[in-house]
Amino acid sequence: MRQRIEGSGLLARIATREAKVGVIGLGYVGLPLGMAFAAGGFETMGLDVDHRKVDAIEKGNSYIRHIDRGEIARLGTSGKLHASTDFSRASACDALILCVPTPLKATRDPDLSAIEAAGRAIAPHLRPGQLVVLESTTFPGTTEEVLRPILEAGGLKAGKDFHLAFSPEREDPANGKFTTRAIPKLVGGYTPACLQAAMALYGSVIERVVPVSSMRVAELAKLLENIFRCVNIALVNEMKMLCDRMELDVWEVIDAAATKPFGFMPFYPGPGLGGHCIPVDPFYLTWKAREFEFTTRFIELAGEINTSMPYYVVQRSIEALNASGRGVKGAKILALGAAYKKDVDDLRESPALRIMELLEEKGAVVDYHDPYVPEAASHRHPGRIWRSVPLDAALAASDAVIVLTDHSSIDYEKVVEKARLVIDTRNATKNVRSGREKIVKA
């Protein structure tokens, strides 16, 4: 049977940049993706339930530190980038790309509520000939088994009336080397025609688009990318704990191993995993694997090691305080950095917050300084909010400083000079020459 979406003119509209692109979800993935399509000549509509994000874009402002407000303003002035909370405007779009969060529930099961809500929001406005793409990281089968039925509830059928595809996001916030346009894009389609449409759309603004045989392959490939990082980070975190016992510097060991030009890729330890992907995504696969009576023991062990790192940092901090003649109870501790990685303002799953919580539970008085995060809310204690304090005064007043995020803008020579004790979880003080007796690696 011939597919009714053939002859819809979508490919021609993509080729001439007449196609209108809708991006659902304007966070760390959706905003740069929408800007890439707008910069590529497509009229782009961002849709989000958060009116603050929509208002910022419409006013030419940025709410994400590493995204240039000037570029948002330029794209808005050109008429290519718009934003709205009105999801009925999805009907005017030729392509709809879903970039919504996929967190874990408290039980560590996948939480697909944002995907389901986005699907229900656009389903009443679907029309024949449109392309719908899911970019949210999720377990194999989500696009077909969860999203497709929601979209088809109104009577239109995927592969016949509209195109359906999955293309995993690969954003790395604040990475100037790998921009949205430069990162290769995987694409899997529900049918060959769906794949062709999605390839054409992404190929218009992305330098390299890589087709795979199915949406499930694309979904699992994304999980494998993040699980690879999770497992290797767990390995070096375990090595760090062993090196501390052996009185060796794990960073020196890793750098030495990295001189081998083949068969080794350096990963570096830290206070725990953060961000939306690596602490969360592996558990999407462990959950799905149970359906096939399979236990992903290696992945679960890596998760256990990485989840334990904040507790290890706290224990090392207590030991360092004891060695300096100060107990943890009542000690004034400055957490240096709250974001989950350097040079971003992203607090999602940040291990720094868990470490601050644990220290306060031990009786410490905790402040933090982060030049990019003016305020941080506890994940576990509702209502507990920390506010970034001025660095110089906090250094002088603190019994210990714990480096949790190695922001490039921080002068670590000054930190070591003014602090009584520095507990470094990121090797940020590696180039500091004087005062090294005050530094403890953790």
Structure tokens at 415: 């930190």
Active-site residue among 93, 194, 243, 277?
Answer: 277
277 is known as an active-site residue: yes
Q: What residue type is 417 in one-letter code?
A: E
Of 34, 33, 76, 30, the C-alpha closest to 55 is 76
CB atoms within 10 A of CB 267: 18
The whole-angstrom distance between residue 65's C-alpha and the CA centroid of its chain comes to 14
What residues contact 148, with CB distance under 8 A and at least 6 apart?
158, 164, 190
What's the chain's length in residues? Answer: 442
Please give the sequence-ordered ranges of beta strands (E in DSSP) within 12-89, or none if there are none.
20-24, 43-47, 81-84
Q: Report d(CA 239, CA 223) in Å as an integer.
A: 24
* Residue that has been written with the tokens 């995927």 in this structure: 158
Please say whether the beta carbons of 65 and 344 come within 8 A. yes
The partner residues of 95 in beta bridges, in order of sequence, read: 21, 131
CB atoms within 10 A of CB 214: 16
CB atoms within 10 A of CB 15: 12
Which helix (DSSP H) or strand (DSSP E) does residue 164 occupy?
strand 163-166
Please say whether the beta carbons of 101 and 177 come within 8 A. no
Q: Which residues are catalytic?
A: 277
